[in-house]
Amino acid sequence: MKKMFVTLIGVMAVLPAFAGPDWQLIEQGRKAKAEQMRAARAQQDQTRRQSDKHSRMMKDCMEMMKKS
């Protein structure tokens, strides 16, 4: 009986290795990574727009100073 119990425990320990990948978990990870990349891209776009706005303001200011 003890040998049968040990064998059963051994099979149960090895069985998940043969079950294959958890596709649902993999897809969740892919979606999370895509969302993270989208958020990073949006942040970069916002930073670039702010930088462009600042550059235009500085250019306008310099032109006003030259006119004075």
Spans in the chain with pLDDT lower than 70: 16-17
- Identify the pLDDT of residue 62: 92
DSSP 8-31: HHHHHHHHHHHH---HHHHHHHHH
- Identify the pLDDT of residue 17: 67
- Identify the pLDDT of residue 3: 85
Into how many domains does the chain fold?
Answer: 1
pTM for this structure? 0.52
- Identify the pLDDT of residue 43: 95
**Which sign does the torsion angle of CA 21, 24, 28, 30 carry?**
positive
Domain containing 9 equals: 2-67
- Identify the pLDDT of residue 7: 87
